[in-house]
Amino acid sequence: MHARAALATALVAGRTSIPVLRSAPPLTLRQTGPHSVHLISTAAGPLGGDRLELDLDVAPGTTLELGSVASTLVLPGPGESRTLITARVGAGATLRFTPEPTVLAAGCAHRIEVGLTLASDARVLWREEIVFGRYGEQPGRCHARFDATLDGRPLLRQEFTVGTPALDTSPAVYGDARCVGTTLIAGPVPLAEAVVADGVAVLPLAGPATLVSALALDAVALRTRLEWGESTASRGRPAGPV
């Protein structure tokens, strides 16, 4: 299956409107608020061989919140499955991208590619969560690549690979964790120095952005840690106990 969904905002009379909302099953987009949209998966997968593309264009001065109603279960199939997400966030625009986790079922072979192109004063919160298999399941393979540029300069580039046990369990990589997640927060936050707690680090990047990086045994703990880190970044100090 090859699907290309797209979403674009526009500034109309000083307010955000969503003139482009093009679903492509299984990527179904539903507007759920004045500037919020949810992804509703209308088929299982992605399955091996699927190629799902989503393009987001957040126009200058507009706001978009994008979530999903359920986690994505990546399943095996003939060949590699791919999810490609591109997003452009214009000057003074705000994007909040907080989908449910991607779960790697046994035997899957998945690639995730995310490309974020930010204008210099764009504000973004972009969360990604990868769960290494369903409960008690050995995950398939996954290679995720994330590239964000700000005003044409590299802001964050990172790759995660899952599915090579000798690397996954390394105390330098994921250790005993079964999920990994990050939240990129671009735009000014009051946090000046890194903050670290159990399984989560809030990291001021070299550019004007902060990365929350978390590891956990399960998806619930991962979300708790990421949200703690997001809150810490926005308060500029540790947000209480994790």
Partner 1 sequence: MNAAILLLTDSRLPAGGHAHSGGVEQAVTSGAVHDVPSLGSFLRGRLHTTGAVATALAAASCAFASGTADGPWAWDGLDAEVDARTASPAQRAASRVQGRLLLRVARRLWPSPVLEELAGAVPSPHHPLALGAAAHAAGAAPEDAALAAAYHAISGPATAAVRLLGLDPVAVHRLLADLSRELPTAPGERDLPPSAAPWADLPAHSAPALDVLAERHALAQVRLFVS
**Where do contacts with partner 1 occur on this chain (CB under 8 A)?**
145-147, 153-161, 166-167, 169-175, 177, 180, 182, 193-196, 199-201, 203-207, 211, 213-215
Give CA–CA dist 133/147, Å, rounded. 25
Q: How far apart are CA 54 and CA 58, in angstroms?
A: 13
**Closest distance of CB 53 from partner 1, Å:** 19
Q: Tell the smallest beta-carbon distance from residue 149 to partner 1 (Å).
A: 8
Nearest residue (CB) to partner 1, 49 versus 115: 115
> β-pairing, 102-104 with 72-74?
parallel
Rounded Cα distance between 153 and 55, Å, is: 21
Rounded to an integer, what distance in angstroms lies between the CA atom of residue 20 and that of residue 54?
Answer: 12
Q: How far is the CB of 99 from partner 1 (least distance, A)?
A: 19
Least distance CB 174 / partner 1 (angstroms): 6
User: Which residue shows structure tokens 């250790």?
Assistant: 175
Nearest CB to partner 1, comparing residues 31 and 161: 161
**Chain-centroid distance, C-alpha 164:** 22
The nearest distance, CB 129 to partner 1, in angstroms, is 12
Query: How far is Cα 85 from Cα 68, in angstroms, rounded to an integer?
Result: 14
By beta-carbon proximity to partner 1, the closer residue of 65 and 128 is 128
7 vs 156, beta carbon nearer partner 1: 156
Which amino acid, 117? T
Q: Which is nearer to partner 1, 67 or 187 (CB)?
A: 187
